[in-house]
Structure 1
C-alpha cells in the first residue's frame, strides 16, 4: 500500500512539475528510448539470476504491495502461543511436547492460534529447535543453532531485495546508453535546421531522465521495500528466539516469554500488564 502511494506521488510530482513548466508531452514520449532502457535493464537483471534466486524473486513479488503485519496483536498472540507451549513443558516435562513439534498441524496448542500457525517457517523454526532439545537434552548449543537458522532465513530473504536494488542502480547507466544512441542519431542529422536538431537532442536526453527516474523513483523503492519487509520479519523471529532460548535454559514460562517481550521493537512491544492479561485469557 505504501509503495503504491509512493509511486503515485512520484508520477504526480513529475507530471505536475513538467506541466507547470509548460513542457511539451510529445517530446517525452519516446518508445524507442523506453524499450532500450527497460529491455537492457531487465535483460541484465534476468541474466544475473540463477534458478534459485529467480524463484525467490517471484515469490517475493507479493511482498511489494503487502505488509509484514507487525503489530502488538501479532506479538501478543505469538507470546501467548509460546507461553502455552512452555507451560506444558514446565508442568508435564519436555517429552510432553513431542507430539506438538512432530505434528504441529494437529497440535492443540498451535491450532489455538491459527493466524500464527499458518506461518510454517516460524513453526518449523520453533519445532526444529525443540526437537533437537528433545533428542539431546543439552541446551548448550541451542541458541547458536537458532542464530544460524535466523541468519539463513534473513540472508535468503534479502537476496530478492539486493537483486532489485542492483537492477535499480543499473538504470541510470542504461539511460546513458539510450541517450548516447540518440546523440549518434542526431549527429546523422547535423545538416538539419536548429529546431530539428533541438528536437532530436531533447529526445536523446529523455533516455537519461527516464533511466534516473526508474532508478530512484521506481525500482529503488521496490528494493528498499523488500529490505524493510525482511527487517521486520527478522525482528519478529528474534523475539521468538529469545523466548525459546530462555525456556530451554530452564526459565519459568512467564520469564521465558518476558525475554521475548523485551526483544520486541518499541512501537509493537506490549506492556507487561497487557501481556499478563493476554496470558491469563
Structure 2
C-alpha cells in the first residue's frame, strides 16, 4: 500500500507543481507516447540484453515486493523458532526418528504444521541439510557456521540480482533520455524554416525526452531497485535465524537456550516477544506430552 502511495505522491507533486507553475500538459502529452517508445523501448531492450531469461523472470516477479513488502512476517519468525525447537528436541530424544522428518519434509507431521515455511525450499533445505550433516557427525560448530554463512550469503547475492538489474536500468535511463532529446533536436533542425511558435513546440517536445529519462530513473525505477534490495535484505534475517539456532544447537546448549539465542538475534521489528514465544513452546510441549 505504501508503494502505491509513494508513486501517487511522485506524480501529483511533479505534474501538479508543473501545472500550478503555469505549465501546459499539452506539449508533454503529445510527445509522451513517442518519447516513451524510444526511451522505454531502449531501456527494456538493454535490460533483456544484459540479463538471461531466468533473471528477467525473477526481476519481474520481484517488482511485486515493492508493494507486498517482506515475505516473512513476525508470526513467521515465531513459527520458525517453534519448528526448530521441535526438530532439535526430536534430534536429542530420538535421533533415528528425526530422519523421517528431514529426509521427507513433504510428508513430515512436524513441517506440516508450518505450511508457509514448508513451501520455502531454501529454508527447508537449509534446515534439513544441516541437521542431516550433524547426524553424520559433521557437527563442528565453527565449520558448520562457516558453511552456513557462505550458503546464506550466496542465496542473498542471487536474490539481490533483481535489484542490481533494476538499478542498472535506472542508471541508463537519463542517457537514453538524452538520446531521445537529441533525436528531437535533429527533427527540429529539419524544420528550421518553420515559424517560432512551431519550433518552440518542437523543441519543447524534444526536451520531454530528457525529462522522461531523468524522471523514470530517479522517480520510479531507482526507488523500485532500492525497495527490492531492502526487502531482500530484510527477508535474509529469516535464514540467518536458522543459522543462529542450528549453530547454537551444535554447541549443545539446551533446546530452550538455542531458541532464545535465535530470538535475541532477530531484528526488533519482527522479533517475537519472550512471552508469546514461551506460550507457543509450552503449547508444543503439552501437545507432545
Short-chain TM bin: over 0.9
Distance in 1 between residues matched to 2:65 and 2:270, nearest whole Å: 20
Instruction: Give TM-score scaled by structure 1 length.
Output: 0.94
Quote how far apart the aligned CAs of 1:121 are: 1.7
Correspondence 1:169 to 2:171: yes
- 1:84-114, Cα deviation, whole Å (9 max, x unpaired): 111112222x333111110001111111222
2:246 corresponds to: 244
Secondary structure of the residue aligned to 1:266 is coil
Match of 2:41 among 36, 39, 42: 39
What are the within-5 Å matches in structure 2 for residues 218-257 of structure 1? 218-257=220-259
Distance of aligned partners of 1:72 and 1:63 in 2 relative to their CA distance in 1, 3 Å threshold: closer
Distance 2:104 2:97 in 1: 13
Partner residue, 1:2: 2
The answer to whether the 8 A contact 1:101-1:127 is kept is: yes
* CA contact 1:235–1:264 (8 Å) conserved in 2: yes
Post-superposition CA distance 1:199-229 (Å, at most 9, x none): 1111111111100111011111221121111
Q: 5 Å matches for 1:73-84?
A: 73-84=75-86
Residue pair 1:173, 1:211 contacting (<8 A) in 2 also: yes
Q: Which residue pairs with 2:105 in the alignment?
A: 104
Aligned to 1:17: 17
Q: Quick check: 1:129 aligned with 2:130?
A: yes
Tell whether the 8 Å contact from 1:64 to 1:226 is kept in structure 2 after alignment: yes
Distance 1:158 1:220 in 2: 14
Quick check: 1:188 aligned with 2:190? yes
Query: Which residue of the partner structure matches residue 215 of structure 2?
Result: 213
Question: Secondary structure at 2:160's aligned position in 1?
Answer: helix
Q: Distance in 2 between matches of 1:265 and 1:115?
A: 20
TM-score normalised over the length of structure 2: 0.91
**Cα offset, 1:137, TM superposition:** 4.0
- CA distance in 2 between partners of 1:98 and 1:139 (Å): 20
SS of the equivalent of 1:108 reads: coil
Would you say how many aligned residue pairs link Structure 1 and Structure 2? 280
Cα offsets for 1:61-83 (capped at 9, x unmatched): 44343222443322111111111
**Aligned-pair Cα RMSD in Å:** 1.7
Q: Secondary structure at the match of 1:17?
A: helix
In structure 1, the partner of 2:115 is 114
Q: Which residue of 1 aligns with 2:180?
A: 178
- The equivalent of 1:273 in structure 2 is 275
Tell whether the 8 Å contact from 1:90 to 1:252 is kept in structure 2 after alignment. Answer: no
Displacement of 1:122 in angstroms is 0.7
Kept after mapping to 1: 8 A contact 2:71/2:235: no
Tell me if structure 2 keeps the 8 A contact 1:95–1:134: no
- Residue aligning to 1:27: 27
